[in-house]
Amino acid sequence: MRLPPPSAADPFRPDALRADAVPTLSDVRDAAARIAGLAHVTPVLRSRSLDALAGCALFFKAENQQRAGAFKFRGAANAVFGLDATQAARGVVTQSSGNHGAAVALACRLRGVPCTVVVPRAAPRVKREAIARNGARIVDCEVAQSARDAATARVLAETGGELVHPYNDARVIAGQGTATLELLQQVAAATAAAPALDVVLAPLSGGGLMSGTAIVAKGIDARIGTIAAEPAGAADGHDSLKSGVRVTGRAADTISDGLRAELGPLTFALLRQHCDDVLLVSDAETVAAMRLVWERLKVVIEPSGAVPLAAVLKHRERFSGRRVGIILSGGNIDLDALPGLLALAPGR
Amino acid sequence: MRLPPPSAADPFRPDALRADAVPTLSDVRDAAARIAGLAHVTPVLRSRSLDALAGCALFFKAENQQRAGAFKFRGAANAVFGLDATQAARGVVTQSSGNHGAAVALACRLRGVPCTVVVPRAAPRVKREAIARNGARIVDCEVAQSARDAATARVLAETGGELVHPYNDARVIAGQGTATLELLQQVAAATAAAPALDVVLAPLSGGGLMSGTAIVAKGIDARIGTIAAEPAGAADGHDSLKSGVRVTGRAADTISDGLRAELGPLTFALLRQHCDDVLLVSDAETVAAMRLVWERLKVVIEPSGAVPLAAVLKHRERFSGRRVGIILSGGNIDLDALPGLLALAPGR
């Protein structure tokens, strides 16, 4: 059963890892130790009927059931609880379309640190509410990356606070990597295969989750495939990694509201090194996959979390007979917006 | 993590418990042993934010993640795997608006036993599909209880098969009771309180789940409160237990498609003895509670499964500060019917 972690009064030690460092498997292990008792150990879900449908063995890491409803709490908790006392006293600043903001707000509340979140106006209601519920100050901005960056810089200058960037931050990437570390440990404990998985997939947006995922997978066993899944309407990550030139400044067009960011310099470099491939899916394919997860696994995930399963179902031959890990990245969905989403991929 | 149980080739022993016997805690313990390895041990979910909203400590037994998507597999597996070889060879017959039918079909497939399910025409598509997917023969009938009974009697006469009634059957009731047995064990293992829970709630329809729940709770500690939750538009159970006369033949008017049956003679007698009270809720209250479970626990439940939480939220003062167990009975919902449901209790 999943009982609450102990109180946030646990002792912690400052993190020597700088935001602009290149994180390693060892940093992910440090992060796992730091956030133990703060973050949930989320379950690994399986479904016979989805395995049959996909023609492979699927292991779903249910980060939708992480605190604040997404994997983002891992990176946020690692960054916030790794601050030294002087940094912590000045407070934390971040920018987010939602899940990272809520996660940083929660981590700051648990440590008793002031928090400001820069939120683009298009962010879903439930995500905005989750930030406010955790007591953070919200600063609104326009959707474009340049507008987000400008507003964040302004708040940083005003407050002197510590930036915890949603993905281009080694502390955050190390924290996100703990999801895959845990997944591989859980599958290894339950099965005899080595490596525990043949391939692991995560959704790609700014690249924090995918970088952490790839560092861990390749660090534990270089034979483990690392595949990013991205909406075709926000293919900047795909195009960046295929061309070797980081694409910036494009407008994203996808219902996956968590996947509209672009790679940062740090995540771009990490993914060039550790990510094997990027697969693209349409929004209709994402919604069809989301519907399958809801119906077969009985868990609520947001569209972004369904993108990797959509990629597996689209490229079935690539995964045939393999042991496939999928990070179900989050479950924060606006139920009132659901009818419009489901209409993109109607039931049979 | 939840890995698949071992194959259905496990040995089993015939059950001495007759369908028309009065089941006891000891029969529930026998059932738990029989279905171990067949049924999932489902998780117990918690949510700080729901606890704060309800003003009590809530322990949700996630039977939506049971095999075939509902607690019904417990009773079905206990009945089907308890048949002796002669009974099994003649096959199994049942009637069901959905979840019980799918559960019996799955149990029969696992044991290699022929199965016929009598299904009222109003049953949701997903539930009908789940029955067919498990290889059972479907016989359609009208919705009224009398029509279901007539069709079932006809099939029994034709096939000479064994009736596994959805609730008025001691073997089924004993199986359903294993959910609460497991819940109390899981909570006891994680906490120091005795009894582990102050009160346990389950939805009320034909009374199989609630009878099993109440037998276990009262059998383990008579101080544990046992409360049934029922839709106001299908209040036959409430009226039967308040008046002492079993109400039959009423038409149900509720969106909770799993809660339209009426008590049988056996469940009526058991609930008169072991069930402390019945609370009624409106369909709008049910949908509001369902929405909360989806948003906060990130799991998919069907309306029937939300009725107990709706009852707790409606009668907050009664549960204040107590340790409250809730059986999330099932997760089989037709997503295409969701917009209409959500409109009954719009978001903020």
B296-328 pLDDT, tens digit each: 999 999 999 999 999 999 999 999 999 999 999
Write down the pLDDT at residue A12: 58
Percent residues over pLDDT 70 in chain A: 96
Boundary (domain end) residue, out of A132, A163, A194? A163
In terms of CA atoms, which chain B residue is nearest residue A345?
A: B336
Q: Residue range B174-182: average pLDDT?
A: 98
Q: How close A300 gets to chain B, by Cα (Å)?
A: 5
A62, A15 contact by CB (below 8 A): no
Distance CA A96, CA A94 (A): 7
Q: Residue range A120-138: average pLDDT?
A: 87
B326, B199 contact by CB (below 8 A): no
Neighbouring C-beta atoms of residue A219, cutoff 10 Å: 18
The reply to whether B17 falls in a domain is no
| B120 beta partners | B141
Would you call B230 exposed, middle or buried from its count of C-beta atoms within 10 A (0-12, 13-18, 19+)? buried
Query: What band does A125 get if pLDDT is binned at 50, 70 and 90?
Result: confident
Q: Residue B183: its chain A contacts at CB < 8 A?
A: none
Query: Helices marked H in A82-120 — which ranges?
Result: 85-90, 99-111
In terms of Cα–Cα distance, which of A290, A299, A345 is closest to B331? A299
The reply to whether B59 falls in a domain is yes
In terms of Cα–Cα distance, which of A115, A133, A107 is closest to A8? A107
Q: How close A241 gets to chain B, by Cα (Å)?
A: 33
Distances (CA, A) of B244 to A58, B104, B241, B275: 52, 32, 5, 13
Q: How close A71 gets to chain B, by Cα (Å)?
A: 13
Write down the pLDDT at residue A9: 40
Judge whether residue B126 has pLDDT over 80: no
Count of structural domains, chain B: 2
Cβ–Cβ below 8 Å for A338 and B338: yes
Distances (CA, A) of B234 to B85, B206, B249, B271, B283: 39, 11, 11, 17, 10
In terms of CA atoms, which chain B residue is nearest residue A344?
A: B336
B190 and B331 share one domain:
yes
A115 and A226 share one domain:
no
pTM for the model: 0.91
Check CB contact of B192 with chain A, cutoff 8 Å.
no
Check CB contact of A99 with chain B, cutoff 8 Å.
no
A262, A247 contact by CB (below 8 A): yes
Beta-strand pair B199-203/B225-231: parallel
Boundary (domain end) residue, out of A147, A163, A179? A163
Write down the pLDDT at residue B108: 97
Distance CA A127, CA A95 (A): 13
Q: What CATH number does residue A98 fall under?
A: 3.40.50.1100
B227 and B97 share one domain:
no
Ranking A178-182, A309-313, B1-5 by mean pLDDT, the lowest is B1-5
pLDDT tens-digit profile of B101-118?
999 999 999 999 999 999
Query: What band does B4 get if pLDDT is binned at 50, 70 and 90?
Result: very low
Judge whether residue B245 has pLDDT over 50: yes
Cis, bond preceding B195 (omega within 30 deg of 0): yes
The reply to whether A8 falls in a domain is no
pLDDT tens-digit profile of A83-102?
999 999 999 999 987 799 99
Percent residues over pLDDT 70 in chain B: 96
pLDDT tens-digit profile of A107-118?
999 999 999 999
B189 and B286 share one domain:
yes
Boundary (domain end) residue, out of B126, B148, B163? B163
Query: What band does A347 get if pLDDT is binned at 50, 70 and 90?
Result: confident
B294 and B322 share one domain:
yes
Cβ–Cβ below 8 Å for A342 and B334: no
Name residue, tokens 């056996």.
Answer: B266
Check CB contact of B52 with chain A, cutoff 8 Å.
no
Q: 3-state class of A247 per DSSP? A: coil
A144 and A214 share one domain:
no
For residue B61, give the H/E element and its range: strand B57-62
Check CB contact of A346 with chain B, cutoff 8 Å.
yes
Instruction: Name which of A1, A331, A335 is nearest B190 (Cβ-Cβ).
Output: A1
Q: Residue range B133-154: average pLDDT?
A: 90
A315 and A176 share one domain:
yes
Cβ–Cβ below 8 Å for B1 and A338: no
Q: Residue range A283-287: average pLDDT?
A: 97
Judge whether residue A260 has pLDDT over 50: yes
The reply to whether A7 falls in a domain is no
Instruction: Name which of A46, A126, A342 is nearest B336 (Cβ-Cβ).
Output: A342
Judge whether residue B3 has pLDDT over 90: no
In terms of Cα–Cα distance, which of A324, A332, A263, A309 is closest to A99? A332
The reply to whether A17 falls in a domain is no
Count of residues for chain B? 348
Write down the pLDDT at residue A7: 42
Beta-strand pair B57-62/B323-328: parallel
A262, A143 contact by CB (below 8 A): no
Query: What band does A224 get if pLDDT is binned at 50, 70 and 90?
Result: very high
Q: Residues B176-194, buried b or exposed e (16+ Cβ, 10 A)?
A: bbbbbbbbbebbeeeeeee
In terms of CA atoms, which chain B residue is nearest residue A299?
A: B299
Write down the pLDDT at residue A160: 93
A89 and A53 share one domain:
no
Q: How far is CA B68 from the centre of its chain?
A: 12
A98 and A216 share one domain:
no
Distance CA A47, CA A52 (A): 9
Positive or negative torsion for Cα B102, B107, B108, B109? positive
Beta strands across the sheet bearing B199-203: B44-45, B57-62, B323-328, B199-203, B225-231, B277-281
Instruction: Name which of B1, B69, B125 is nearest A298 (Cβ-Cβ).
Output: B69
Tokens in use for A41? 């150990």
Average pLDDT in chain A: 93
In terms of CA atoms, which chain B residue is nearest residue A69?
A: B298
A310 and A321 share one domain:
yes
Neighbouring C-beta atoms of residue A222, cutoff 10 Å: 10
Cβ–Cβ below 8 Å for B335 and A346: no
Q: How many helices (H) and strands (E) does chain B have?
A: 15, 10
The reply to whether B348 falls in a domain is no
The reply to whether B10 falls in a domain is no
Mutate which: A44, A127, A290, A295, vs B, most B CBs within 10 A: A295
A240 and A91 share one domain:
no
In terms of Cα–Cα distance, which of A144, A70, A131 is closest to A105? A131
Q: Residue range B72-85: average pLDDT?
A: 97
Distances (CA, A) of B96 to B33, B59, B119, B120: 26, 28, 5, 7
Write down the pLDDT at residue A145: 77
Q: Residue A71: its chain B contacts at CB < 8 A?
A: none
Q: 3-state class of B65 per DSSP? A: helix
The reply to whether B2 falls in a domain is no
Beta strands across the sheet bearing A137-141: A137-141, A115-120, A92-95, A162-163
Largest separation between any pair of C-alpha atoms in chain B: 58
Domain residues for the domain of B103 are 73-163
Distance CA A272, CA B266 (A): 67
Q: Residue range A234-247: average pLDDT?
A: 97
Name residue, tokens 């200058």.
Answer: A157
A108 and A86 share one domain:
yes
Distances (CA, A) of A13 to A30, A50, A83, A91: 11, 42, 8, 17
Write down the pLDDT at residue B348: 57
Q: How far is CA B26 from the centre of its chain?
A: 19
Check CB contact of A265 with chain B, cutoff 8 Å.
no
Ranking A80-94, A139-153, B60-74, B80-94 by mean pLDDT, the lowest is A139-153
Dump the DSSP string for B5-16: PPPTT-------
